[in-house]
Structure 1
Amino acid sequence: MNNDAIVRKLARLRTGAKPRVLDLFAGCGGISIGFESAGFEIVGAVEFDPAAAESHGLNFHNGAEAHSQAIDITKTSPAELCLQLGLDNVEDAFDVVVGGPPCQAFARVGRSKLREIEEHPEAFIHDPRAQLYKKYLEYVKAFQPLAVLMENVPDILNHGGQNIAEQTCEVLEAKGYSGAYTLLNSAFYGVPQMRERMFLIAYRNELGAKVSFPSPTNWLVLPPGYEGSRSVALNALRRLENEAHSYIVPPAATQDLPPAVTAEDALGDLPAINARELLAAGKITRGARRFDTPVSYGRKKTSAYADLMRNWPGHEAPKEGLTDHVIRYLPRDYALFARMNPGDQYPQAHAHAVQMFEEQLAAARARGEKLTEGSAKYKALWASIVPPYDASKFPNKWRKMWRDQPARTLMAHLGKDGYSHIHYDSKQARTISVREAARLQSFPDGFRFSGTMNPAFKQIGNAVPPLLAKALATQMMQTIKLAVTAKEMADEPRRAAAAVS
């Protein structure tokens, strides 16, 4: 370890300079925008997906080519990254490293534990994806940040019988850090979405800082699925109690806090898209949805959350209007979406569709049409109304949102169909738009997504909610500032004594 680099970084922060962030596995920049808003400087990012990398460069570096190119972390050394970004010194380049290797990186490699990976490079013969974890640690070792933030799914606490978060803390401890981890749900931090994730924070020992996590700002009784997710993870911790030394119980939300932000709070001010009307008028057709036609907000009253999304400092809503408020072309299902009740999932949707088919069949027969069961016309009518999936095998494939609750977790799968988030407004009768997905994830309206609709949905679903990232970043900024100040005060007598002698 080069302690001189740590000394130089601490000295720089004492001048009031912003801590410099490197975002690994950055996606389009959910963590980055949270840290930027908390006063950090986003100096660089590493992202493999071309569309996401372009989005990150667009939003944080005005589309500069060096910051908008896809980077394969398994083929790019820290020195090569610095060269690409125009940074001179690897050890002095960054103060904070954030991000989280994709969960595939934690695949079981024989019986080896992750803390042994660096000493057992042959393990990667069995699963090359584990190199993502190794590369993350390689970057931390090379850049020697003062602080580290990692994010992953709750299952990481028991992945194949291993507590990956605990083992990560052990690896970081060997590199001169003190770390801890917990589980946080984004709905407790002002995000209109229930999203449970593991977060790990570590600080260089020279800071003498203690890890803490932000207190909730909102109150919500989580539904069984989400409490169950947390319970499963915590039960795993109890079973692996000898491997949970660094776990911290998440700060508790209390009923005196404001209620969680709802789907209507998040989406109610956005222009209506009445899918059935557009379909009848021929104004919605099959094909790529490009973000080149702006639409105005209209005059709807805004919630406090909508105001924040419109006026996020540095990412304010474009004056010409929103260009990514676009939806999927799903002509078979618009009428079915209107029939569904809030909270309905695929089994209920399928039952509604069967009922709609029977109504249409009876009407056709009343008109004198001959639709005998099994005939081509009968089958065609069925296919035009009823989705083809087995209702017993895909219970969670669809969901109509509740108006007065946060949305369920957005997934990268949004890039394929979006049926997991059907708009609560039955008049609009559609799945959510790209901008609505961004709102549910707490991306401000001025945040731009590269590419067309499907890549944008994927970027949004993969991201860490910016508001939750901001809460974590604000907590880390306070901890770093206090630690730097305390260290400066502790060092002052020594400097004074040295000056006298």
Structure 2
Amino acid sequence: MQKNIITKKSGVHVVVLDLFSGAGGLSEGFFRAGATFIGHVEADKHACDTLRTRTAYWNLKQNNKLESYYQYLLKEISRDELWEMSGVSVSKDVIHTEIGDNTFDSITETVKANLKNKNAKKVDLIIGGPPCQAYSIVGRARMKESVACDPRNYLYKYYVRFLEEFQPKMFVFENVPGILSAANGQHFQDIKDAIDKAGYHMELQELTASDYGVLQDRKRIIIIGWKKNKRQKYYKYPEFEKIENKYLVKDVLEDLPETKPDNMIEGKGLYKSKPGSYLIEVNIRDENFNILTQHETRMHNERDLEIYKEAITAWNKDKKRLCYKELAQRRPELCTHKNKTSFTNRFNVIKADQPASHTILAHMAMDGHYYIHPDIKQLRSLSVREAARLQSFPDDFYFEGPRSSQFRQIGNAVPPKMAEQIAKKIKEIL
């Protein structure tokens, strides 16, 4: 059964190893480009479960058996049954482990076994990016002095070891813009030196997600590298295809049913309208898909809801962001934080009438105040599904684990639509 599940139709397929995979936003783009994965390596259990469920989707799609996947979304079959019928339960494609000295050899052995099982000669491409908390400006501010000794600063060394071990033709290394300035630029210089020593040339650009079909002002550093050899002259940093944005943030939210705090809406036939042009064009939802999942919201107390009302009114009326210090002066009964001089922008509304929202971050797992829904009638923060849509995840993408983990997985991900544009060009080059 496993052989049948992984068999692909004829054509060119790039063989990909995915490191520090997260929930699979970057790999989703390469799945769409027809890549063959011989490993997704990820330390978080819930993200690994998400990767397995998404791999089940792609396996079943290849075999024209997506009805089984839709049964899972409707809770008509269990996750174990889904994984069993899709071949995921016997597959070792998703490797749940931390990457480190104690696990490098075992990961390598598993990847080589996967290569053999899929009749693939070698790895063409390595993708992924180490966890970015130690590089991001927000993360560095939160961790303060402890950031200097954070072990995540040095996970890039294992990425480079995988380059040395498998010698792919190319690699894609993604991270936050803060990677360039962390430790006054020393970390990035160390990364560059290590990649050069491994025999690879690299170039980078800062890409903005809103240029690639994502209604979000999210910036990422995308490093592309290729082996230094006689064919190097044929390679150059690709020009990724930009997508003209004709839409507003409201277009990603408009067909979802209204809800309230601490609520879950799931099931068939629950969308309030057919999908609009934006949702269809970026593959979030097509006209035939009618199963809503994970439209789940967190609970808020009455005081926070009053603040949300103030924040939404300030934006809708004056296009002004709520300032906590000003709120404390005007309505002191709502303000319980003693610190009124820093983090005065702790409340933020998703701007429905703008072409892009502010960045969806993993921190939203702990704090919904920064992601307030623009509809004052609903008075709540974003649902899991809404956050996923702003990251351009399709509605048939299911996130495993508790709600906090789902938000974290979404916030950490590369937007799939942006990843798809990257994958198309890398496939052309290879």
Quote the Cα distance in structure 1 between the aligned partners of 2:293 and 2:322.
31
In structure 1, stretches of 5+ residues that fail to align are 1-14, 108-124, 219-256, 276-283, 358-381, 481-501
Counterpart of 1:22?
17
Show the 5 A alignment for 1:420-435. 420-435=370-385
Cα deviation for residue 149 of structure 1 reads 0.4
Counterpart of 2:427?
477
**Secondary structure of 2:267's aligned partner:** coil
Q: Is the 8 A contact 2:201 2:228 kept in 1?
A: yes
TM-score, normalising length: structure 1: 0.66
Quote the Cα distance in structure 2 between the aligned partners of 1:210 and 1:165.
22
Quote the Cα distance in structure 2 between the aligned partners of 1:318 and 1:51.
25
Deviations 1:176-230 (A, max 9, x none): 3222011111111111110111110012235433222434634xxxxxxxxxxxx
* Counterpart amino acid of residue 280 in structure 2: D
Aligned equivalent of 1:101, options 119, 127, 130: 130
Q: Is the 8 A contact 1:25 1:46 kept in 2?
A: yes
Quote the Cα distance in structure 2 between the aligned partners of 1:67 and 1:338.
47
Quote the Cα distance in structure 1 between the aligned partners of 2:93 and 2:357.
32
**Secondary structure of 1:323's aligned partner:** strand
Counterpart of 1:159?
182
**Secondary structure of 1:294's aligned partner:** strand
Quote the Cα distance in structure 1 between the aligned partners of 2:269 and 2:394.
16
Counterpart of 1:231?
none
TM-score, normalising length: structure 2: 0.76
* Counterpart amino acid of residue 440 in structure 1: L
Quote the Cα distance in structure 2 between the aligned partners of 1:295 and 1:328.
22
Quote the Cα distance in structure 2 between the aligned partners of 1:410 and 1:92.
38
Cα deviation for residue 324 of structure 1 reads 0.3
Cα deviation for residue 393 of structure 1 reads 1.8
Cα deviation for residue 404 of structure 1 reads 1.7
Counterpart of 2:72?
none
Aligned equivalent of 1:323, options 276, 280, 293: 293
Quote the Cα distance in structure 1 between the aligned partners of 2:133 and 2:273.
44
* Counterpart amino acid of residue 294 in structure 1: G
**Secondary structure of 2:164's aligned partner:** helix
- Aligned in 2, Cα 1:450/1:155: closer, same or farther, shift over 3 Å? same
Cα deviation for residue 329 of structure 1 reads 0.6
Quote the Cα distance in structure 2 between the aligned partners of 1:414 and 1:104.
14
Question: Do residues 300 (structure 1) and 326 (structure 2) align?
Answer: no
Cα deviation for residue 353 of structure 1 reads 7.3
Segment drifting more, 469-478 vs 170-179: 170-179
Counterpart of 1:205?
228
Aligned residues: 367
Show the 5 A alignment for 1:112-127. none
Deviations 1:324-348 (A, max 9, x none): 0011110322243233232654525
Deviations 1:327-374 (A, max 9, x none): 1110322243233232654525x64577567xxxxxxxxxxxxxxxxx
- Aligned in 2, Cα 1:423/1:475: closer, same or farther, shift over 3 Å? same
Same amino acid, percent of matched pairs: 30
**Secondary structure of 1:160's aligned partner:** helix
- Aligned in 2, Cα 1:411/1:305: closer, same or farther, shift over 3 Å? same
**Secondary structure of 1:328's aligned partner:** coil
Cα deviation for residue 134 of structure 1 reads 1.4
- Aligned in 2, Cα 1:422/1:295: closer, same or farther, shift over 3 Å? farther
Cα deviation for residue 29 of structure 1 reads 0.3
Q: Is the 8 A contact 2:256 2:272 kept in 1?
A: no
Counterpart of 2:110?
83
**Secondary structure of 2:18's aligned partner:** strand
User: CA RMSD, aligned part only?
Assistant: 3.1
**Secondary structure of 2:155's aligned partner:** helix
Q: Is the 8 A contact 2:282 2:417 kept in 1?
A: no
Counterpart of 2:67?
none
Q: Is the 8 A contact 1:156 1:163 kept in 2?
A: no
Q: Is the 8 A contact 2:131 2:152 kept in 1?
A: no
Q: Is the 8 A contact 1:336 1:353 kept in 2?
A: no
**Secondary structure of 2:378's aligned partner:** coil
Counterpart of 1:34?
29
Counterpart of 1:56?
51
Q: Is the 8 A contact 1:55 1:450 kept in 2?
A: yes
Question: Do residues 44 (structure 1) and 14 (structure 2) align?
Answer: no
Quote the Cα distance in structure 1 between the aligned partners of 2:296 and 2:288.
16
Counterpart of 1:132?
155
Give the structure with the larger strand fraction: 2
- Aligned in 2, Cα 1:304/1:73: closer, same or farther, shift over 3 Å? same
Show the 5 A alignment for 1:244-393. 257-259=244-246, 261-275=247-261, 284=262, 293-294=266-267, 296-300=269-273, 302-308=275-281, 319=290, 321-332=291-302, 333-340=304-311, 341-342=314-315, 344-347=320-323, 351=326, 355=330, 382=333, 385-388=334-337, 390-393=339-342
**Secondary structure of 1:161's aligned partner:** helix
Quote the Cα distance in structure 1 between the aligned partners of 2:301 and 2:135.
41
